[in-house]
Amino acid sequence: MTTLFVSDLHLEDARPAVTDLFLRFLREEAMRADALYVLGDLFEAWVGDDDPSDAGAAVAAGLREVADAGVPVAFQHGNRDFLIGHAYAARAGMRLLPDPAVVDLYGTPTLIGHGDQLCTDDAAYQAFRRQTRDPAWQAGFLAQPLEARLAFARQAREASRAHLAEVGAGPGGDVTDVTPATVEATFARYGVVRMIHGHTHRPAVHALDVGGVARTRIVLGDWFDQGSVLRVDGDAVRLSALG
């Protein structure tokens, strides 16, 4: 049996083919897994559990079928869908996990998370993250009418694109990628030898030496042009694309 990890699907009504690909993945593979973990940015935007998107409704039904088949489904918030709440999680049959969290994968404690907390060189984004994760800010936002929240989400997407264009690459390196010192400190803080995350859209398996100990950092890919799935089966780790 296999435990599956995905992140950064960025599903939205404007990209129905990708939603269909994910639903097919749920039906054809996730139904047979030991567990499914979604490490954030399942949706391009989420304005509250009354979000009216067709993608949100279809994905909730698809995940519920997986959960009803006896496969545990767990979700961690990303930087796009941090407002997914308990109501939607209940509809989808998924358990909300803190970010980060340590899970036992076939005897190996593994740190999992969306990954945006590791990008500490991007000070502007980290300030935005602190603001939007504040319970008081979230309560105030969710109290607004649906149309106002949808308008905010559109503006936030445009601001995000502009920010990425401005800071993406420069003389000091790419601040949208993880900060190596933060990765090392995170490994040391949690005392694990393996980390799995998304967010950066740079799929890879990195071998590291932290404090004289061999560690592995696995980065999940996005679902813009294809699907990206990590399969963990005992000691075997396979990161591959779905066509």
- Is 41 assigned to a binding site? yes
The number of residues in the chain equals 243
The answer to whether 10 is annotated as binding is yes
Token pair 């049996």 in the structure block, residue: 1
**114 known member of a binding site:** yes
Is 53 annotated as ligand-binding? no
Question: Do the beta carbons of residue 84 and residue 49 sit within 8 Å?
Answer: yes
Edge-to-edge strand ranges of the sheet holding 236-242: 95-96, 73-75, 35-38, 3-6, 227-233, 236-242
Query: What CA–CA distance (Å, rounded) separates 17 from 184?
Result: 38
Any known ligand binding at 8?
yes
DSSP state of 61: H
Is 206 known to sit in a ligand binding site? no
20 is annotated as contributing to ligand binding: no
Within 32-174, where are the H helices? 54-68, 86-92, 123-132, 135-142, 146-167
Does 201 count as an annotated binding residue? yes
Query: In which residue are the tokens 């489904």 written?
Result: 73
Point out the annotated binding site: 8, 10, 41, 79-80, 114, 122, 160, 199, 201
Point out the annotated binding site for substrate: 79-80, 122, 160, 199
Point out the annotated binding site for Mn(2+): 8, 10, 41, 79, 114, 199, 201
